[in-house]
Amino acid sequence: MQRRHLIQTAALSAIALSIALALPTASAQSNTFKIGLILPMTGQQASTGRQIEAAARLYMAQNGDTVAGKKIELIVKDDVATPDITKRLAQELIVNDKVNVIAGFGVTPAALAAAPLATQSKTPQVVMAAATSSITEASPYIVRSSFTLPQVSVAMGDWAPKNGVKSVVTLVADYGPGNDAEKFFSERFQLNGGKVLDKLRVPLRNPDFAPFLQKVRDAKPDALFVFVPSGAGAAVMKQFLERGMDKAGIRLIATGDVTDDDQLNDMGDGALGVVTSHHYSAAHPSAMNKKFVEAFQKANPKMRPNFMAVGGYDGMRVIYEALKTTKGQGGGDALLAAMKGQVFESPRGPVLIDAQTRDIVQDVYLRKVEKKDGQLYNVEFDVIKGVKDPGKAK
Ligand code: VNL
């Protein structure tokens, strides 16, 4: 009896939630436009939250907090990169706060946890960080302003074999983006005649790289290819050097998540010469990027903007322009339509929000860690223009 009662209660509250989610958001009428920014502000991925929040606030400071007659309100919530929390926060933001857009999402599981709520409530979900290819397929309301791992990994699969790397071991964080990096790098590398000697996966939570690096040493590849999420790169670099991998003749190649601008300058000279592929470097030599980095550092004196900051800054741009286009009158569907197909200059270079996939199309750069004015930077030396997510061609 009691059990049945519980089940009925659970069923009823599920119905109540789906009704609440299906109701039109009140703010179409109101004078505020609310953006619910869900980010990891504490825990292992906290640097991602800090970078994105700082960039979103910079965008607002530069572009005003009133758009199409609406006052923009940014509501920042900490999900500790934990999908259960993300889901609860997204629900509260949509149902109670009646936000017009949800945004942020530091890791793939968080972006995926919010996706069904975006769909049910017809709320645009702007993914500013998470980078597994399949995320945009989890809801037709998702638009991405970050990047995808296949997008940047394929470039390294082309570069490495042309530059003396004939054999590799891959080492990736064991979840969505790591699996994408492993697959798309390896396939392209092998297509170009390279040999993948081993594929290693480290746990996302509290990874210990030592036993994996020992295996790499024993396999003696020309290079080790690495993907770990933003915030974990410094630990990889430290252990790579401490274990004398470079002296054993093994090169480090990676996606730019490893030589993350948030940490790079503290990695020490051992990082010099490391080649990575990615979509953003704080050293990107455009006038717009110089302005962006300068303004970001003026507002946040101890920080250098990284690729997460740029994902947040551009995500705000996508939201602002959609609000302008819809003249502040539209609901979720109108906003979403106005986000699709946006073409603009980002601090990273030219970008497009592909209207079909809702994913970002952008230039991917090859970069080498060099010293500039006494600081370590990822200096771009080659570019592949207008790269679409190769993960979508499956
Ligand atoms: C993800 C991908 C997260 C790349 C990252 O840093 C990153 C993700 C927090 O999709 O979870 O650098």
Q: CA-to-CA distance for 279 and 370, rounded, in angstroms?
A: 17
User: What integer pLDDT is reported at residue 26 of this predicted model?
Assistant: 47
Binding site membership of 51 for ligand 1 (Cβ less than 6 Å): no
Ligand 1 atom nearest to CA at 307: 12
User: Considering only CA atoms, which residue is closest to atom 10 of ligand 1?
Assistant: 130
Exposure of 303 by Cβ count < 10 A (0-12 exposed, 13-18 middle, 19+ buried)? middle
What are the pLDDT digits (tens) for 199-248? 999 999 888 999 999 999 999 999 999 999 999 999 999 999 999 999 99
Separation of CA 230 and ligand 1 centre (Å): 6
42, 50, 105, 108: which to mutate for ligand 1, most atoms within 8 A of CB? 108
The size of the chain, in residues, is: 394
Q: Which helix (H) or strand (E) holds 318?
A: helix 307-325
Separation of CA 261 and ligand 1 centre (Å): 14
Binding site membership of 53 for ligand 1 (Cβ less than 6 Å): no
User: What integer pLDDT is reported at residue 5 of this predicted model?
Assistant: 55
Separation of CA 3 and ligand 1 centre (Å): 41
Q: CA-to-CA distance for 41 and 52, rounded, in angstroms?
A: 10
User: Considering only CA atoms, which residue is closest to atom 11 of ligand 1?
Assistant: 107
Separation of CA 178 and ligand 1 centre (Å): 9
Binding site membership of 106 for ligand 1 (Cβ less than 6 Å): yes
Binding site membership of 130 for ligand 1 (Cβ less than 6 Å): yes
Binding site membership of 178 for ligand 1 (Cβ less than 6 Å): no
122-to-18, 94, 256 alpha-carbon distances in Å: 12, 10, 34
Binding site membership of 233 for ligand 1 (Cβ less than 6 Å): no
Binding site membership of 230 for ligand 1 (Cβ less than 6 Å): yes
What are the pLDDT digits (tens) for 11-44? 556 666 666 666 555 444 589 999 999 999 999 9
List, for the chain, all residue ranges whose pLDDT scores fall below the cut of 70.
1-29, 393-394
106-to-78, 197, 273, 307 alpha-carbon distances in Å: 10, 32, 28, 12
SS3 content of the chain, % helix, strand, coil (to 5): 45, 25, 30
User: What integer pLDDT is reported at residue 23 of this predicted model?
Assistant: 57
42, 230, 255, 306: which to mutate for ligand 1, most atoms within 8 A of CB? 230
Binding site membership of 180 for ligand 1 (Cβ less than 6 Å): no
User: Which distant-in-sequence residues (6+ apart) come within 8 Å of 54 by Cβ?
Assistant: 296, 299, 300, 303, 305, 309, 312
107, 127, 205: which to mutate for ligand 1, most atoms within 8 A of CB? 107
User: Considering only CA atoms, which residue is closest to atom 5 of ligand 1?
Assistant: 229
What are the pLDDT digits (tens) for 125-141? 999 999 999 999 999 99
Separation of CA 328 and ligand 1 centre (Å): 32
User: Which residue type is seen at 252?
Assistant: L
String of b and e for 237-256 (b: at least 16 CB within 10 Å)?
bebbbebebeeeebbbbbbb
Which residues sit opposite 200 in a β-bridge? 171
